[in-house]
Amino acid sequence: MYNDCSPEIREFLFYLETVKGRSKNTVYAYYKDIRYFFRFIKLHKGLCDKQTDFENISIEDVSIDLIKSVTLSDIYEFFHYVNSTNQSSTIARKASCLRTFYKHMYNINAIDKNPTENLELPKIKKSLPKYLNLEQCLQLLNSIDGPFKARDYCMVTLFLNCGMRLSELVGINLNDISICENNNRLLLRGKGNKERIVYLNDACLSALNDYLIFKRDHYQNAKHLDKKALFLSRNGNRICARQVERIIDNCLQKAGLSGMGFSTHKLRHTAATMMYQHAGVDIRVLQEILGHNNLGTTQIYTHISNSQVKEAIENSPLNFKSKK
């Protein structure tokens, strides 16, 4: 992988994966951003044929000299170039990638000056996360049907009750589930292979039990059964993330909830919102449940509804009529 990169860029990507412990998906995102950036730099500095299609500009020859030649002005030119087709969050991600790359190159003494040292990250417009309300959650669960109903219902139930990521769900193994009296737990592997424990409530236990019965009966004659994985495809292989997304999209459509901006990841938003608004979960507890490193990340899930704002003001101890 990354054979189309120069040795210097490849070394950085390997550093992210092996030393920093970044997930393969994260490293791949860095790779795409760096590739995009140096394609622009080569075009900007006249180091490639201007008639070459942007996607075909090679970065195999990106040398230390070219990396050193990049200035803060070049980087702002790059942001101007991508600004018309990218959201502020995407530009901020690209900026963060460049800062990490150049900081690493400076730390290993490959360059003597870091052009991103005074780089200002663009402000990201904060928006409230989209989530299903309680009625829509019940609507979604009640509409799940089909030959794999037990599996699909179990997946949706875990998403809505545990707030797990898609990658965490597909990575669950049977031995990650621990069922014992008053201590029913599930081991999840999050970003960077960080492990955390979530607890299974009655709804999760019931859905898991129904699915495991279905799984035992349905796959008993499967020739190539993945015996480790919890969730399986029709053929008995570990279910993949894209297949789960298709299943969730289909469930949303059956529930009459398609075209409303809902997705697999929005079920995670929903779980966090339900815990915070209806169960009164403390934000730091929610941070642990969701597996966030920073509390600030959790706060996007803890938006306060208008009804809560109204209730807070109504219940103010100073809410009394003045005497005339």
In tens, the pLDDT along 209-239 reads 999 999 999 998 888 899 999 999 999 999 9
Q: Is 263 helix (H, G, I), strand (E, B) or coil?
A: coil
| Residue 102 parent element (H or E) | helix 88-107
**Residue written as tokens 């492990």?**
195
At 304 the pLDDT is 47
Q: 10 Å Cβ neighbour count for 256?
A: 12
Cα(296)–Cα(76) distance, rounded to whole angstroms?
Answer: 27
Any idea what DSSP says for residue 185? E
Is the pLDDT score of 87 beyond 60?
yes
Give the amino acid at 16.
Answer: L
At 99 the pLDDT is 94
Share of the chain above pLDDT 90, in %: 53
At 3 the pLDDT is 85
- Mean pLDDT over 188-207 rounds to 86
Enumerate the active-site residues: 165, 191, 265, 268, 292, 301
In tens, the pLDDT along 265-323 reads 889 888 887 777 665 666 666 676 777 666 555 565 555 444 554 555 566 555 555 55
pTM comes to 0.64
- Mean pLDDT over 58-66 rounds to 94
Q: How far is CA 89 from CA 73, 96, 167, 268, 300, in A?
A: 21, 10, 22, 20, 14
Closest CA to 218 of 231, 206, 205, 207: 231
Distance of CA 205 to the CA centre of its chain: 25
The token pair that represents 199 in the structure block: 């607890």
In tens, the pLDDT along 122-153 reads 665 656 668 888 899 999 999 999 999 999 99
